[in-house]
Amino acid sequence: MEYFIQQFINGVTLGAIFGLIAIGYTMVYGILGMVNFAHGDIFMIGGFISIITFMILGVLGVTWLPFSLLCMLLIAMAFTGLHGWAVERIGYRALRNSNRLAPLISAIGVSIFLQNYVQLLQGARNKPLSPIIFGGIELMTSSTGFTVTFAYMQMVIIGVATVLMAGFSVLIARTALGRQQRACEQDMKMARLLGVDVDRTIALTFIMGAALAAVAGLIWLLRYGIIDFYVGFLVGIKAFTAAVIGGIGSLPGAMLGGLLIGLIEVFWSAYFSVEYKDVAAFAILVLVLIFRPTGLLGKPDIEKV
């Protein structure tokens, strides 16, 4: 039982990372109908910017942890958002009205470009970061001596992810920008006729998705203490899986899907085998696609008239 609770906490932590990335996939898909394959690499760039920021803060002598964490968060969000904007502007905008496959291929190209760009600038070696948040609360100890620990790091991760996801949901549901995004998603031409600057709305969507992925990158770095230029590929694919499981295009679906993938992966590793955790995650994808092709919270496609 104690072991189960510990794994549950770990699973939610991992799920928060996937959820944050999945939001980016699902928003872009919702508004443009394309899969932004470069999004995993945007996440990786977020991690790199975080570690660079941390190093710079160290050199500057900033040692108060909450402040440096906040700086890492904001700087990573800002610069990764800039990357997200640039990707849309350079990689996708010109292809928006062409064949559906063209932006997809362009996305794969952007993904390869981003990996090589980071490899060139930062080197191919892993970048390690020694743990910076220590300790935790010991929740309970079993008779066999196994202790359930809720690490402070995990609290920070789950807290930040929850706050961001909630804020983001409010933004989409309540603000003028969110309404504009939903309008573009449903009928882009009509939105343009009503005076909505569609290009700007799409650019903002990419920036927001990238900023959330940057937070995921920062969290990843804090949790695993290591990052390399290739990490975005597998994590990105899993987050995409999460978005599809939750129902691509659905915001709560992306968060739920992320949580599920995180839990499945952690429980599978804990009770069966670590080697096959990816297989487990993707097997669930297959099952969901067979029995519920629109995903758990996705709505069936409504025929447009």
Interacting residue ranges for other proteins, rule: CB under 8 A: 167, 170-171, 174-177, 179-180, 182-183, 186-187, 189-198, 302, 305
- Contact (CB, 8 A) for 26 and 250: yes
Least distance CB 167 / other proteins (angstroms): 7
The 3 state secondary structure assigned to 118-142 is HHHHHCCCCEECCCCCCCEEEEEEC
Nearer to other proteins, 128 or 167 (CB): 167
User: Which tokens in the block code for residue 246?
Assistant: 């939750």
Q: How far is the CB of 175 from other proteins (least distance, A)?
A: 4
Distance CA 114, CA 108 (A): 10
Q: Which residue, 30 or 47, has its beta carbon nearer to other proteins? A: 30
Closer residue to other proteins, CB minimum distance, 127 or 192: 192
CB of 196 to other proteins, least distance (A): 6
Beta partners for 149?
138
Shortest Cβ 215–other proteins spacing (Å)? 16
Compute CA distances 57 → 52, 53, 72, 213, whole Å: 9, 6, 9, 22
Judged by beta carbon, residue 208 or residue 261, the one nearer other proteins is: 208
**C-beta closer to other proteins: residue 170 or 286:** 170
Q: Which of 103, 10, 77, 44 is nearest to 237 (CA)?
A: 44
Q: How far is the CB of 190 from other proteins (least distance, A)?
A: 5
Pairwise CA distance, residues 189 & 53, whole Å = 41
